[in-house]
Amino acid sequence: MAAEVNSFSSRPSLSSFTNFPTSLAMSTTTDSWQTLQSAASNTPVGSALDQESASRTAGTGAAFVQNKLRLFGADEKPKLTLYRDHAGWCPYCQKTMLLIEEKRIPINIELVPMRSYGDKPESFLRIVPSGLLPALLVETSDGRKQVVTES
């Protein structure tokens, strides 16, 4: 009977991995974050991502879970502020955002962690003592503020 050959017993030597041309060798130094960001922004994908990020900041970009402002072409500051989960996993917050997007309601958005991801900010708990999400802060025409809560 012939002896079996174990394919794992023959290991390549480490020297076979270190004989790469210098152009393929890894560098032990890193550029600054600004240099890396600039290099990424100069690519087509990086440029598109920068433009989309600027649009989202201005409230005009596409729907995105981290948006903090949605204007839908409105000229004035939104009178509504939605407090929603920062991860986009709360089904009640998702339903609320879908309605806002469909009806194109200008709104400010504040991202608040769910209890399973950390403590809620004191500023949010002063407005919504129960801490439940979503919550909607409505500024009326006479300057009063009303909170709508409890999904």
The domain containing residue 88 runs over which residues? 64-151
Which pLDDT belongs to residue 151?
Answer: 54
- Assess if residue 59 is contained within a domain: no
- Assess if residue 42 is contained within a domain: no
Which pLDDT belongs to residue 118?
Answer: 84
Which pLDDT belongs to residue 37?
Answer: 86
List the CATH number of the domain containing 88. 3.40.30.10
Measured CA to CA, the distance from residue 79 to residue 145 in angstroms comes to 9
Summarize pLDDT for 59-84 with one digit per residue, the tens.
998 899 899 999 999 988 899 999 99
Q: Which of 148, 59, 147 is nearest to 107 (CA)?
A: 59
- Assess if residue 143 is contained within a domain: yes
Measured CA to CA, the distance from residue 36 to residue 80 in angstroms comes to 38
**Structural domains counted in the chain:** 1
The residue to which tokens 């072409």 are assigned? 73
Which pLDDT belongs to residue 96?
Answer: 94
Residue 71 contacts residue 78 (beta carbons within 8 Å): yes
Which residue numbers in the chain have pLDDT < 70?
Answer: 1-30, 151
